């Protein structure tokens, strides 16, 4: 039992996602890093895969360069609606240092599209 608890805690600690939007937004602003928002829902069959894919790409390539947060569409509907551009889920929005977001729609969430959006965001100069 102790091993299972330790494993679960280490997995949670290793998550590249901030615990909530406010924390992520503040960290992004304070550290002048792009903010990546993944919008999904528990009922969405594609959302867990998108969340995992974005998390993996960020962990492997951009861990110290961006801030990442997941918004549950049902729990954080107001924020999710403000961030979203498309009517489908999941959606990934990359905000380059406080500027307008780069949107990646559900059908376009691939390793390549995430790299392109993040690379573009990282090239935006600091304000």
Residues 56-69 pLDDT 10s = 999 999 999 999 99
Is the pTM value of this prediction over 0.75? yes
Residue 14, pLDDT score: 73
DSSP 46-83: SHHHHHHHHHHHIIIIITTT-EEEEEETTTTHHHHHHH
Q: Which two tokens stand for residue 26?
A: 């503040």
Q: Kindly report, residue by residue over 51-105, the tens digit of the pLDDT.
A: 999 999 999 999 999 999 999 999 999 999 988 888 889 999 998 876 678 888 7
Instruction: Spell out the domain ranges in the chain.
Output: 17-123
Q: Is the pLDDT of residue 107 over 80?
A: no
Residue with tokens 């573009």: 120
Q: For residues 97 and 93, give the distance between their C-alpha atoms in angstroms, rounded to a whole number.
A: 12
Q: Domain 17-123, CATH 3.40.50.720 — does that match?
A: no
């Amino acid at each position: 039992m102790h091993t299972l608890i330790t494993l679960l805690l280490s997995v949670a600690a290793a998550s590249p996602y901030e615990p909530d939007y406010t924390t992520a937004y503040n960290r992004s602003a304070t550290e002048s890093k792009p903010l990546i928002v993944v919008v999904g829902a528990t009922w969405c069959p594609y959302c867990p895969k998108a969340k995992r894919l974005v998390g993996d790409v960020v962990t492997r390539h951009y861990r110290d360069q961006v801030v990442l947060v997941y918004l549950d569409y049902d729990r954080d509907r107001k924020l999710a609606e403000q961030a979203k551009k498309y009517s489908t889920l999941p959606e990934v929005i990359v905000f380059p240092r406080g500027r307008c977001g780069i949107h990646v729609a559900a059908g376009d969430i691939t390793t390549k599209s995430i790299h392109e959006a993040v690379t573009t965001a990282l090239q935006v100069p600091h304000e």
